[in-house]
Amino acid sequence: MAERIVIVGGVAGGASAAAKARRMSEDVEIVMFERGPYMSFANCGLPYYVGGEITRRDALFVTAPETFERWFGVDVRLSTKVTDISPSARKVTFVGPGGKPDTLSYDRLILATGTVPIVPPIQGIDGPNMFFCRTVPDVDAIMKRLDETLPREMEGKREIEGGRLLSGEDTGVCALVIGGGYIGLECAEQLLRRGVKVTVVELMDQLMGPYDREVTRPVQGALERAGATVILNDAVVGVETVGDRSSATLKGGRKIPFDLSILGTGVRPNVELAKNAGLVLGKTGAIAVDERQRTSDPAIFAAGDNCESILLPTGDSVNIPLAGPANKHGRVAGNNAALDLMGAGYADPRRLKMGGVLGTSIVRVCGVVVGGTGLTEKAAKQAGIDIEITYVIGLNHAGYYPDAKLMGIKLMYSPESGRLLGAQAVGRDGVDKRLDVLATAIQGGMTVEDLEQLDLCYAPPFGAAKDIAIMAGFVSSNARRGTSPGISPTLIFDALASDTPPLLIDVRSRREYEKDHLKDAVNIPLSDLRARMGEIPKDRLVVVYCTGGYRSYLAQQILLNLGWKDVRNLYGGYSLASLVQEMDGN
């Protein structure tokens, strides 16, 4: 009788594990249980089906179970829930579509149970107009509700450019999105495309909680320009439904009527089976695994959102529920489970190891794209890690080529070694490209000086001769060398409010300055700087700024070369500092 691998979960981690196990061995029997009615579907594509960017429902399915069974010889059992694991007997108990419990033995078990949604304690949260957007049945229910509420004669998909709706009519339908994370914001964008009036309620003081606040502010602006209402620092405490419509009451007392609500309040690892089986859980609450995805039981592996990974910049255990790590987890688990049953030793060169993760992620909201990789500033502070930060503002491609768009990069690195630790970026076209470059650099242990030496492709439609990723290396390296020290826009206002405030000089033109400028700034245009040296004291910190940082960099070099000792360039210039000033009410 063939030895058997049992896999619990049939989406990213589970399907990847099954496919890799089969590629390793034709002799092993593979049984995959999936509690839902579908396997290997595109979770990340669900919001785009709601909004109509993905037009065909069947496009959401990566692989049909029939095809998967034919190609890989896997026994796929849908709508089947595993209810118990007996590690001592190496058996699982399951309940299939018929409702009758049964058991199946295993030689190796792979748990790919994913996550479960975090459901806040809201009275009435189980009402008829409340929806998740995590599975195909969830989306089917959302689409059914939209079909019931959207007036057929009015519905028309609307395009969003720069956070502004270009066409379409207001349908009169209202949606409440609870939670300002990835799924919530993607659903908000897509509902706006359908002509739905959207309100987003977020408990924190910013959207996209894992990111640093100043990086996420353009996303909020884009939503608001597109017609959405964004409410921060508040929470839904109750929901009432009368007839066909519902109303949410916020902690602050505000009431919001809606026709449907999307719950995007986050997820937690689904570890009940593992916990009940006595498997060790890590400090994050997810399943603890070694580099080969093996749990505390040698016969059981775990893969995907239910288990821990190692964060590369710190070496700490983390639980990051993203598709990329889940697929790699599954590949490693399936490979090593099959090798176990093939009699391969622990040191067999075919053994796979799971490297660390960076949590690289990205989202588009109403034309604005924001993403990050590695450490954020807030995560570094929480972990007590010493970092330096630089900001760079630049264009996604050559400025003289049509449709160049501004982009901002925030870079975190070690002040001691210069090693890259994290990056975040916000803009429009090309954000993904720069984040991929920076994620690769972090994975490779590169320093900010290494960024200066990158040789990236260049032609006017695609980038600049000095790409913004390379410019981030220039700025950071110059700061480390001491040739161009800078100051963060998140720190400048504290410095200005101190007992010994710096002299803040705006080196833009008089016209730019009069249009708007930072409070307490003195205007000395770059072209006038050499003639007005007498106005600048040498015994006081001087901070110079322009729109994005280049003209102020030139001004800084003039002053440093003429004897000034402490001159800082304001990272990101007025573009970023004014944003921070607006957020903090300075």
| Environment class of 283 (CB within 10 Å of its CB; exposed 0-12, middle 13-18, buried 19+) | exposed
| DSSP structure class, residue 315 | -
Enter the tokens of residue 119. Answer: 């459901």
Helix ranges (DSSP H) in 444-496: 448-452, 468-481, 489-496
* Strand ordering across the sheet containing 197-201: 130-131, 260-263, 174-178, 197-201, 229-231
Whether 546 is a known active-site residue: answer yes
Q: Which amino acid does the sequence have at 147?
A: D
Give the dihedral of Cα atoms 168, 172, 175, 181; nearest 10 deg.
30
Quote the CA–CA distance of 165 and 397 in Å, as a whole number.
25
What letter does residue 205 receive in the DSSP assignment? S
Which residues, in sequence order, are CB contacts of 287 under 8 Å at separation 6+? 111, 269, 271, 274, 279, 280, 281, 295, 302, 306, 307, 308
- Distant-in-sequence, close-in-space partners of 196: CB < 8 Å, separation ≥ 6: 146, 150, 171, 173, 174, 175
Residue with tokens 């730019």: 512
Q: Which amino acid is at 192?
A: L
Burial code (b: 16+ CB inside 10 Å, e: under 16) for 421-433 equals: bbbbbbbbebbeb
**Assigned token pair, 214:** 């100043």
Q: Which DSSP state fits 386?
A: -
Distance CA 329, CA 334 (A): 9
Stated length of the chain: 586
Ramachandran angles phi, psi of 300, nearest 5°: -125, 130
Say how far apart CA 480 and CA 416 lie, in whole Å. Answer: 9
CA distance 314 to 144: 45
Contacts with 219 (C-beta within 8 Å, 6 or more apart), sequence order: 185, 207, 208, 363, 365, 366, 368, 370, 426
Smallest CA-to-CA distance from 175 within 264, 242, 237 is with 264
Nearest to 218 by CA among 396, 406, 375, 381: 406
Tokens of 95: 């309940």
Q: What is the DSSP string of 491-549?
A: HHHHHHTSSSPPEEEE-S-HHHHHH---TT-EE--GGGGGGGGGGS-SSS-EEEE-SSS
Given 133, 187, 366, 546, the catalytic residue? 546
Strand partners, 338: none
Catalytic residues, by residue number, are 546
